A and B are shown apart, each in its own frame.
Chain A
């Protein structure tokens, strides 16, 4: 008889079955979605042969093009601004002495994660509608402001986590070696927290790219992003073009995440 193994979840009866079921449940719909993006026919249920025509069609669709560009532009700006703000917030809540209200500030930064998105969306709709009427101004600025705001807590989490595990004696050592405050930040703190910042930026970017509810409520006419465009299409005729767009988005996301892991593991 073999020695009794120490406890491991693997020894729970049915562990493998549950694991397999979970993966199947998560990935089957995705696999079907991807498969039908290559359908030669225009059905989402009946396979009529392999074709790339939906990809050509999506790529040639000007509405898709402009929605994709708008999404990238919106996510790029919002995620960057949110990451800068989150970095400052993370520094202020970890690299300072205790001050009254510090815990409260921490709670306030994270609170948006707890508020249902639809509530935020309605609140923003009301405020921005009022501002739009008052100023007559309807540019992308409202979407950028909204996206930046809800991206901040997502960017904040990994950055703060990184800062908390960082030993502050490194910063002391730099100060001991004649570095002024700014030099300590630029030469030590910033490079050390970079993996956290990159993770925060990517998370914020993906969250912004993905958002439907708030965007739908805040956008003005002609400001569709990729997700709101897709939602609009689903209300009308559904063709595998949607599948093709989704597939590209899924693989672009996977590609980004892979690049991130590759970069961060090479740093160490």
Chain B
């Protein structure tokens, strides 16, 4: 089911890397990458030197009473100094992927490369990768400072350097005042910062964060989101972040991978994922959606509800009967002749916007609109009113489902 556009882009990646580098230790790896089917990476024109994590066709099967395919042929390349987010519903394999990258679980098949080296067989303590655990996993029998010190001691760093780094880290996460406390004597948010400092102190190549904010209340959560972005910026470390909160993913990430049932469905920037989801699952998981039946031909669709519109086709779906996505905020009330006639069913006022549920006259499909409220607070049609719905240029996008 791999689509043309991905294939085309990988060709370009291949050529850039071939011409971009002459010999060197990376050549062998590129040769292999080109032989093995390369990972899909929309919008990626980077060369291999910028890749931190390169997961190749990783599968993980848990064998218990019944087999669980927690990861199903997952391929993904994560760039250096990228804030990369794994997003998906519970049980889709996010934690499993992190555990494979950290080295806690060997993959059933597939390879894991880090900065051009195959690390698939290395134990966790030999990988320059650190984890911020979901429950923080701070050592309860050690002070805050000793928790942060632990990784540096294990690496056998000189004492002076250790002490200096610990001080830096304490300052970075603003925990100077509490360095002598036991980890059971600090608040949840503070524990989270210590866990972060402990994982950052050894300056790993990649930092893995498994829903680190899920235990915090909303206000602290927003603060920590900003703080995480700042830390990532200041340290230059690659962050792989797991969440099932779509808003968190959209606000924080450079790129997002949407996962479902052990597979990566789509990888892209927050804008790409939101505006141009490749399939219905992705569109549904992020934001609110209208799905409209249509007929695709060339670069445009003819809606069942009437009208022909130019359309984006991120997944290169073949011509024929398709579903297209229309986000509620990209539809508006219009007087134009070619706008789609509809009947208003419900109107819900919610402060800064009004949600309007309508039904298209010609196709009988429901369409939800999200309309900005005017300062005067008037001018919205009543329930049962006849309206016409316009669609913003470029709003429609074909789904693969």
Contact = CB atoms under 8 A, between A and B. Distances in A.
Interface of A: 167, 169-170, 172-180, 183, 187-188, 191-192, 267
Nearest to B102: A176
Interface in B116-134: 123-126, 129-131, 133
Contacts of B141: 191-192, 267
B154 A178 contact: yes
Contacts of A183: 154
Contacts of B199: 176-177
13 contacts: A169-B137, A172-B133, A173-B131, A173-B139, A174-B154, A176-B125, A176-B129, A176-B199, A177-B150, A177-B198, A178-B125, A178-B151, A187-B150
B30 interface: no
A170 B139 contact: yes
A178 B162 CA distance: 15
Contacts of B133: 169, 172-173
A119 to B, nearest CB: 40
Contacts of A180: 125, 154
A192 B131 CA distance: 21
Given A172-B124, A183-B154, A177 B104 contact: no
Interface-central residue, A167, A170, A180, by most chain B CB under 10 Å:
A170
B131 A176 contact: yes
B111 interface: no
A177 B129 CA distance: 8
B373 interface: no
B33 interface: no
Nearest to A191: B141
B56 to A, nearest CB: 23
B155 interface: yes
Contact of A167 (B129, B130, B137): B137
Given A177-B154, A191-B141, A192-B141, 15 more contacts: A172-B124, A172-B133, A172-B137, A173-B137, A173-B139, A174-B150, A175-B125, A176-B131, A178-B151, A178-B154, A179-B154, A180-B154, A188-B139, A192-B140, A267-B141
Interface string B193-204: 000001100100
B135 interface: yes
A223 B130 CA distance: 58
Of all A-B residue pairs in the complex, the 5 with the closest CB atoms, nearest first, are A177-B151, A178-B154, A173-B137, A169-B137, A175-B124
B102 A178 contact: no
A187 B140 CA distance: 12
B202 A177 contact: yes
B155 A178 contact: yes
A169 B103 CA distance: 13
A170 B147 CA distance: 11
A178 B137 contact: no
A187 B150 CA distance: 9
Contacts of B129: 176
Nearest to B150: A177
B124 A176 contact: yes
A179 B124 CA distance: 9
B202 A178 contact: yes
Contact of B125 (A179, A191, A192): A179
Interface string B141-159: 1000000001100110000
Interface-central residue, A175, A180, A191, A267, by most chain B CB under 10 Å:
A175
Contacts of B138: 173
A175 B123 contact: yes
A170 B126 CA distance: 17
Interface in B330-371: none
A195 to B, nearest CB: 10
A183 to B, nearest CB: 6
Contacts of B104: 172, 175-176
Nearest to A171: B137
A177 B138 CA distance: 12
A166 to B, nearest CB: 10
B137 A170 contact: yes
Contacts of B103: 176
A156 to B, nearest CB: 23
B398 to A, nearest CB: 43
Contacts of A167: 135, 137
Contacts of A191: 141
A198 to B, nearest CB: 14
A170 B137 CA distance: 5
A167 B137 CA distance: 8
Nearest to B126: A178
